[in-house]
Amino acid sequence: MSAATETPKIELTGVKKAFGPKKVLDGVDLSVAKGESFVIIGGSGTGKSVMLKSILGLLNPDAGTIKVDGEDTTHITGRARDRVMTKFGMLFQGGALFDSLPVWQNVAFGLIQGRGMRRAQARDIAIEKLAAVGLGSDVANLSPAELSGGMQKRVGLARAIATTPEIIFFDEPTTGLDPIMADVINDLIVKCVRDLGATALTITQDMASARKISDRIGMLYQGKLIWQGPTDSIDDSGNPYVDQFIHGRAEGPIQMQVKLG
């Protein structure tokens, strides 16, 4: 992905978001090129999810601009928002599967409700996407509550890719899974993103996952992207915050808010 002249797929400039007195994002600048897989690392509660939700228009940033394919989408609503949304697929942190619908209708949701596709046809595509994430057609009629955590993640992934989006967001895709299942999900993410030729933005705290699925990595700390660079440069970033995070040390410049009694 060479040309610096090419319009970035996603571009954030000076994005700020506060909840009451609490500044969560404090001027985030980020640029993700078309077809790139960008991973954002950072401790819990640093605003990683808030950043994704701001790009998706689920939260309204207080300042800054967000561009998708060069189009300013910061404050668009209604039909214009719906049209931009068709470019996106998202795998939520907790899966966010609709528990009132069977698995196949979850996967086909964007096709049936969003695109108005006929149910029979949408079902066929859903079965196909389930197969792509390694689930047989026997789970299609189950309720999401009947599935294990790993299977729910896969269904969430199938739902995110069902509408063949140009951009996919993954919010902590491996959190809460055992290491083997986490690696299975990593492989699926790499495969799905490659098959779709999509641009991917992933947030995670799992360094093994970050290394495996990313082209570039950035670190979010105190509301800013304090470092970013190619994946293989992360071990000699020369940034003490990044070093502390990737080695998981309690001592360092990042102070955890732990009150000692």
Partner 1 sequence: MGFLSGIGRATLVFLAATGRLALFTARSLSHCVRPPYYPRLLVQQMREIGYNSLPVVGLTALFTGMVLALQSYTGFARFNASSAIATVVVLSITRELGPVMAGLMVAGRVGAAMAAEIGTMRVTEQVDALSTLSTNPYKYLVAPRILAGTLMLPCLVLVADIIGVFGGYVVSIYRLGFNPAAYLTSTAQYLETNDVVSGLVKAAAFGFIIALMGCYNGYHSKGGAQGVGAATTHAVVSASIMILMINYLLTGLFFS
Ligand X SMILES: Nc1ncnc2c1ncn2[C@@H]1O[C@H](COP(=O)(O)OP(=O)(O)O)[C@@H](O)[C@H]1O
When CB distances are held under 5 to 8 angstroms depending on the partner's kind, the choice from ligand X, Mg ion, partner 1, none that residue 146 binds is none
85 binds partner 1 (CB under 8 A): yes
Contacting residue, 31, 37, 49, 209, with ligand X by CB under 6 A: 49
CA dihedral in degrees (52, 54, 57, 63; nearest 10)? -160
Determine the interface stretch with partner 1 among 20-28, 79-87, 211-219, 232-240 (rule: CB under 8 A). Answer: 79-87
Rounded to an integer, what distance in angstroms lies between the CA atom of residue 128 and that of residue 123? 9
Pick 49 or 74: Cβ nearer Mg ion: 49
Look up residue 184 and give its amino acid.
Answer: V
Rounded to an integer, what distance in angstroms lies between the CA atom of residue 157 and that of residue 72? 27
DSSP for residue 46:
S
DSSP for residue 141:
T
Pick 106 or 228: Cβ nearer partner 1: 106
Closest to 198 measured CA to CA, from 228, 161, 154, 153 = 161
When CB distances are held under 5 to 8 angstroms depending on the partner's kind, the choice from partner 1, ligand X, Mg ion, none that residue 19 binds is ligand X
Contacting residue, 10, 28, 32, 46, with ligand X by CB under 6 A: 46
Min dist CB 193 to partner 1, Å, is: 17
Pick 107 or 184: Cβ nearer partner 1: 107
CA dihedral in degrees (129, 131, 136, 138; nearest 10)? 20
Tokens of 78: 């209604």
Contacting residue, 48, 123, 154, 216, with ligand X by CB under 6 A: 48
Let me know: does 31 contact 54? Beta carbons within 8 Å: no
Determine the interface stretch with ligand X among 46-54, 121-129, 130-138, 145-153 (rule: CB under 6 A). Answer: 46-54
Give me the 39-58 binding string for Mg ion, x by CB under 5 A, dash otherwise: ----------x---------
Rounded to an integer, what distance in angstroms lies between the CA atom of residue 166 and that of residue 233? 27
Give me the 93-112 binding string for partner 1, x by CB under 8 A, dash otherwise: xx-xxxxx--------xx--
Rounded to an integer, what distance in angstroms lies between the CA atom of residue 21 and that of residue 139? 46
According to DSSP, the β-strands at 167-171 and 88-91 are: parallel
When CB distances are held under 5 to 8 angstroms depending on the partner's kind, the choice from partner 1, Mg ion, ligand X, none that residue 97 binds is partner 1
19 binds ligand X (CB under 6 A): yes
227 binds partner 1 (CB under 8 A): no
Determine the interface stretch with ligand X among 41-49, 63-71, 190-198, 232-240 (rule: CB under 6 A). Answer: 41-49
Closest to 56 measured CA to CA, from 165, 178, 143 = 165
Let me know: does 107 contact 158? Beta carbons within 8 Å: yes
Residues that bind Mg ion (CB under 5 A): 49
Residues that bind ligand X (CB under 6 A): 19, 24, 42, 44-50
